[in-house]
Structure formats: C-alpha cells, structure tokens
Structure 1
Amino acid sequence: MPISETWLLPDGVADVLPEQAQVIEALRREALDFLATRGYQLVYTPFIEYIESLSSLSESNQDLDLATFKVIDQLSGRLLGVRADMTPQVARIDAHVHPVEGVARYCYAGTVLHTKPQGFNTTRAPLQLGAELFGSDSIDADVEMVDVMLSLLQTAGLADGIHLDLGHVGLFRSLVAHAGLSKAVERQLSDLYQRKALPELAEFTQELKFGADFYNLGRYASDLDALQANLSAEIFENPEFKQAFDAVKQTQSEIQARWPALHIGIDVVELRSYHYHTGLMYAVYAPNRAAPLAQGGRYDGIGQHFGRARPATGFSCDLYALCAGQFKQIQKVVAPKGTDKALLDAIADVRAQGLSVIQLLGNDDLKSVPNATHQLVNVAGEWKVEAV
C-alpha cells in the first residue's frame, strides 16, 4: 500500500467531525446528568485489562468473547482484552472494588471495541452509555431500569413513536428443564424461535416431550392471554415458568401505567444474549430503525466470577447511533486582534454566554476563520455581535 494511503481507517471505524461531535457530547453530558438525578453514580473503567476480568460474561456468552480483541501484555506476558462491553467491568467494581451493602446503582459512558460490527451498518467502536443496578432481585428493580431507559430516551428527544419489547428467558429455560432436553436440542429450538420459523418449529417439536407446549410458546409468543390458554396445565404448575410468566405481565402493567401512550410488545421467545441473561429482557425500537435504540435485561449472579454473586439488571445504548444524522452548526464569533480592555471584556462577556469566540492572530482577517458565523464589531464605541 502506498504511504499516502496508510492513514486510512479500518472498516467499521470512523472519525467524528465537529458538527456531530458537539451533538454527541451534549447528549452524553445530558444523559449522565439525568442518570445522576436518578441515583446512578458515574464510574470510569479501563479500556483494557486482563482477560480474566472481562470473562464474567464472556464465559457464558460466546458472542461477547468473539467480539473481544485480545493482545499480549508486554510487561507481564499475560493475555489482555480490550473491552467490548462495560457491564463485566462494572460488575467487577460492584463485587470486588466497591462492594457496598444493599442496592448499588452505577452508570458509565465510554468507547468499547468490537472485533466485527455487531449489526448492519454499525461501528466497531461504539460510544457505550448505560446503567446497572445491583443487589435487588425484585421486579421493581426491572421496572425501574426500564423506566430509566425510557426516560433517558425522552431526555434525548427520541421518545416519539418508540416501541418497547419485553421478553423473559425464564419461560423457555424452565420448559426446557421440565422436559429434560439436551443442550443440542435446546440450541436447535433457540435457533427456530429466533428465526420465527413456525413451520419448522411445528415439525421439530412433534417428537419432543411437551412438544405442543414448545410449539405454542413460539406461536403465541406475543400474546400472553393466548399463550396461557394454549399451554398445558402442567406447565403452568411449574413454579419457575409461572414466576417468569407473572414477571412479564407485571412489568408490562407497571410500565404501561407509567407510560400510558407507549406501545409495548411481548415476545417471550426473543432469546438474544440468551446465554447470560437470566430473567426479563427489554429493548426499545424507533420507526425506520432496525437496531434497538437501547436494550438490556437481568443477569443475576454476574459477580460470582469475582467472589460476590449479586442479582443485577441494566441497559446500554450507543450514543453514536442515538445521534445518527444529527448535526449542529457551530456558532463562531470572530473578534479583532487587540488588548484594549473594553475589547477583552466584550470577548469575555460573549464567551460567558456560551458562544465560541476566536480572536484574530497576526495579520489574519475574517476570511482566515473557516465557517465564521458572527463577528464582534465596535459600533459607536460599544462592542456588538453581528452576523457575518
């Protein structure tokens, strides 16, 4: 490759230019300030650490493991991982670094890195923002997290027309355990549910124990009343299944009470990240966007890897995706060169109003400042800001 081309960025990585960077940064500050008002404390986590510290989720989530860049530490010779998700790091903080008693709430914002894009037309270096709640296995904690997620999107001006999807891995897992299915059959069923392949599901479940229940779980996945009417009584007598079913209904009811205009959909066989989620899962979608604006779920026991298993629930989003297509013109006020006190005071006053003021250098003139929008001019002895 010619030297002139070596500066080009890898696929899935891009610069963020000023007109969009200020939109993203404004949203980051606004979002973190909002989370602080809800009691979520900000933490910073290292961009890279020993792979063992990042494996609390990756051991049970092969997708996360495959998304993690791994390098050898030149100092210790040990394997390092570049964070692909900040949740394991916050779990480490809760379990090992800052082990408070009772409920702990944390929030974060930082760049993560993926070996491959995680979706169509997505970046490999998202700016991940999220919140995590540790120490409560109550439905109230899940409801709070969903409410915080929706409120954050409302704060960002993205609440119009959004759709909330609710699911729960407990229904599928408890049915699999009740039927005594092998891991191979479980994986095949999970794939069929994910693809919404009802004809294949009908054929595959014919020979399974509780096959009709497995089929109806997929067929009526979005209608809890129809699901209850078509599943066998034996399944609803299973305490794990009943608990998961009631959790979805209660969460839907409580979120609807808080957000009466919100469209809420149910999909009890939406099994994304199935291997590490342990309970309720949720995702928010917007019109004309294939990927969710934000998503999360319950992942109890995540701190076990660090010696302190805790119930946990949380969500995250990509600030780059939230701000996609949003640009803001930068207001640039150009001031003349000089050290006159009145001029310097005028510059300070304009900057105090939140505007960007650039004072000319040397023999520069207005043309030397690209995209200048205003200038500071002296009118009858008074400095004023005028449009260019």
Structure 2
Amino acid sequence: MAEELFIGLMSGTSLDGVDGVLADFSGERLAVRAHATATFPVSLRAELLALNTLGGDNELHRAALAGNGLARVYAGVVEQLLADTGTSAAAITAIGAHGQTVRHRPGEFDDVGYTLQINNPSLVAELTGICVVADFRSRDLAAGGQGAPLVPGFHRALFARDEQPVAVLNIGGISNLSLLPAGSGTVLGFDCGPGNALLDHWCQSHIGQPFDTGGRWAATGRVLPDLLSRCLADAYFAKSPPKSTGRDLFNPDWLAARLLDGAAAQPADVQATLAELTAMVCATELQRHGEGIHLLIVCGGGALNDHLMTRLRALLPAVQVLSSAERGLPPQQVEAAAFAWLARSTMRRESGNLASVTGARGARVLGAIYPA
C-alpha cells in the first residue's frame, strides 16, 4: 500500500518551541515516521508572549513579522523531518501548521468573538514546496463553536476502545480533556484550565529555568491552601462545557491578583500550589464529567512531569493514569500528529470538529489550504 504522508506542526501555549511529526496514514493505524523539534529564538518567544498581552504598541506590524519568524522555524522543522527520513517534499500531501495562538475569545463581544493564530502559511508553503493547511479554528467559531479543543476527534481515532470508555488529558500550556465513550457514543471534550503555562512562568521567574524538569522543584514545596482556594474560586472552573480558554485568562496577571501574600510566600511553595491547581482542576473535571471512566491517558509536556503525574494518581485513586507513550505515541508527538490528522481531514473535505465538543451548530470542514 502506498504511503499517505502528512506533516503536523504544533507550537502550543507553553511557547517552548515547535514539535513536528511525519505521519503515515496508509495503514490501519497512524504510524509516526519521524519526530523533530525546534526551540524558538529568544527574541521570537518574547515577541509571541508579548503579543498575547493586551495593550501593546504597533501590534499589526509586530504580528506580521512574528508570523514570518514562526514560518521560518516551521520550515526548519519540516526540512529536518524530510532529511531524517530521506523523504522528498513531493511525497508529502500537506503540512498541518496550526500557528501560534495569541488571542482566544470565542463567543465574546459580538456573539461570535474571535481566535487569532499568528502564522504565515503562504511563507511555509513557499519555503518547503509543500501544500499547507492552516487556520483550523475560525470556521468552528463562525458556526457558533468555541474553536477548541480540536484534538478530541483525533484522540477518538487513536485511543478509543470498544470495550471501555477512556479519557485523554493533554497538558500543554493549557490542559484539555477528551472523554471517549466505549463504542460509538458521543465524545465530549473541553479545556480544564491552566496546564504548564503558570508553572513555566513561575519557574522562569524564580530559578531561571524554562520549565520545572520532572516537577522536582514543585515536589520540594508545600501547597499553600489559601492561594489554592483563591485560584480555584475563578468562575471558569465552575462553567459547564463547551468551554475553552488560554493565556487571555490564565496569565501572570491572573496569578499576581491571587498571590496576595506573594512577598512572604516561598517560591517553591507557590510552584507546588500551581502544580496542585493543575492536577486538581483536571482530576475534578474528570470526576464531574467522566463517570465510569477508569483509564486516563496523559499527553503533552505535562506527562513528562513526574510530580504532576503523581498528584493525578493520588487524586484519582480509582483511575489508571498512563502516559500516552504506553499507548504507542510519545506525549510530545500527540498534538503534532493531531494537526497532521486535521490537515488530512481538510484535504479529504471531511469535518475536523466535533460539535459535541465545541458547541458548533454542526460538523464543519476546517482550515484554509495554501497550495505548494
């Protein structure tokens, strides 16, 4: 059987860089042929983070140039994937290039709202010579949906089991949960709240590291009950799905507003509390909406955080908590593979959203195509 090759690229809310996979869809199951990563240049990361903050100057100009910079990083990852596998650009059907979300305000202001991903897919197509699919979220918003999360359909294709319901938890900058019924029931999915974004911010600010490797620093601290309570009191956590969020809400200003005793708090204790916040909101949402689910598959960078995984297992004693690596796909490859899958859906004129997840008025073909 001929290979059916797509490339998926993912740069998420953690802002730690780009993950890319070369995925083959010709078999019964997705096969990842290669995985490549690239960190963002320091100046590009700083600009992307700044553009996610309201009130900046000259944003249109800066966003356009940041899109060019992101496109060049994307093209570098594609080049690496092709070189590592000896694959020609002509053999790739399309690249799924999600872009970098800097604003996500579905349903606000005028009942439609907007979601904004910085990107220059035309430049990616020009630099790689490969068809690019981008702008996956806008059509779902136009149809009344949240535009996120978009990965539950892929999670269903990859991880669902006929004999038992399964939950898939992606912990990137924001955490999102997919609830997959046994058989052909209705899939649910939504953003739980903060994942690594606040943890990474606090870590960078206090120990100068981009993230807390393995959660080892958080494990040295103690949870601050008052701070945790103030965080958990945010109205987002009480909302019912469909719901989605991002750095628009869960950002350093949000944390500072709740860190009333920040001058007296030990930094390691705040880190421990933020880790507990992430674990608690994920566990609570699974308990609220995932009745009868006893298997949780965790992906994203959070799956590599041993402390977070330990806390999830403690908070969910009746649930088997596994890394996606134990189900055949390493945690940092899952979202990139999802956007390869979404690009394939677009090229086949198949719907990529699940209305039961996003709240859209129905299934829609997502994305815009930029031919090679």
Larger radius of gyration: 1
TM-score (norm 2): 0.31
